């Protein structure tokens, strides 16, 4: 992986979120306190003239506590052969043991932030939290949205300023 300047970042963005998925990882590698979970809802864009990654986390997730406590997070995308590992990390909770150890994935240091990245990633987006809010059901204008919340566990939305992108050539325009 190499650093990718923002104006050279290129991806099939809808497929990347919806089909390939990311690991959202928050915490601090140096003190060994971090957690990861699979995410497929979110986006990349521009807000307040800053490049941002937007993720949503239900309060029941173990990762939620890390997102609240720590300033930074990473989004990591992987080659297809790790897809089952992302399934596992998106169904088991880090609250009940070391789920990363059950996969073929290994954390490693990020370049600009404290939250870890993954050695096996083909794309790693390093972010610093700049905003959060909670989804409010009274603001849902499409009544199909509420069906995602039978337990009323509305997501908290986080905006992270993108501080660094590392990726393979697949994610870089020529």
Contacts with ligand FMN, residue ranges (CB under 6 A): 21, 35, 37-41, 56-58, 61-63, 87, 90-95
Question: How far is it, in rounded angstroms, from Cα 69 to Cα 26?
Answer: 9
* Helix, strand, coil percent values for the chain (each to nearest 5): 25, 40, 35
The residue (of 26 and 117) whose beta carbon lies closer to ligand FMN is: 26
Strands (E), 59-141: 72-77, 107-108, 117-118, 123-134
The residue (of 135 and 168) whose beta carbon lies closer to ligand FMN is: 135
Closest distance to ligand FMN from the beta carbon of 99 (Å): 7
Closest distance to ligand FMN from the beta carbon of 162 (Å): 18
The residue (of 4 and 103) whose beta carbon lies closer to ligand FMN is: 103
Closest distance to ligand FMN from the beta carbon of 3 (Å): 26
Q: How far is CA 81 from the centre of its chain?
A: 19
Strand pairing report for 22-28 and 123-134 = unpaired
Q: Which residue is nearest to ligand FMN (CB)?
A: 90
Closest distance to ligand FMN from the beta carbon of 49 (Å): 26
| Cα-Cα-Cα-Cα dihedral sign, residues 23, 87, 107, 79 | negative
| Cα-Cα-Cα-Cα dihedral sign, residues 57, 108, 7, 131 | positive
The residue (of 37 and 115) whose beta carbon lies closer to ligand FMN is: 37
The residue (of 33 and 95) whose beta carbon lies closer to ligand FMN is: 95
Which residues are registered as beta bridge partners of 57?
156
Closest distance to ligand FMN from the beta carbon of 142 (Å): 18
């Amino acid at each position: 992986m190499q650093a990718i300047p923002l104006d050279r970042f290129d991806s099939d963005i809808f497929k990347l979120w919806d089909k390939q998925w990311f690991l959202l990882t928050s915490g601090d590698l140096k003190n060994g306190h971090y957690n990861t979970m699979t995410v497929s809802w979110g986006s990349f864009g521009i807000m307040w003239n800053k490049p941002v990654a937007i993720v949503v986390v239900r309060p029941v997730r173990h990762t939620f506590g890390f997102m609240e406590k720590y300033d930074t997070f990473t989004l990591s995308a992987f080659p297809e052969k790790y897809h089952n590992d992302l399934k596992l990390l998106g169904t088991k909770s880090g609250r009940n043991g070391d789920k990363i150890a059950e996969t073929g994935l290994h954390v490693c240091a990020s370049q600009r932030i404290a939250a870890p990245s993954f050695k096996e990633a083909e794309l790693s987006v390093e972010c610093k939290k700049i905003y959060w809010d909670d989804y409010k059901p009274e603001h849902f204008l499409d009544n199909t949205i509420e069906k995602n919340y039978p337990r009323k566990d509305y997501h908290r939305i986080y905006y992270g300023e993108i501080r660094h992108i590392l990726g393979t050539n697949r994610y870089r325009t020529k």
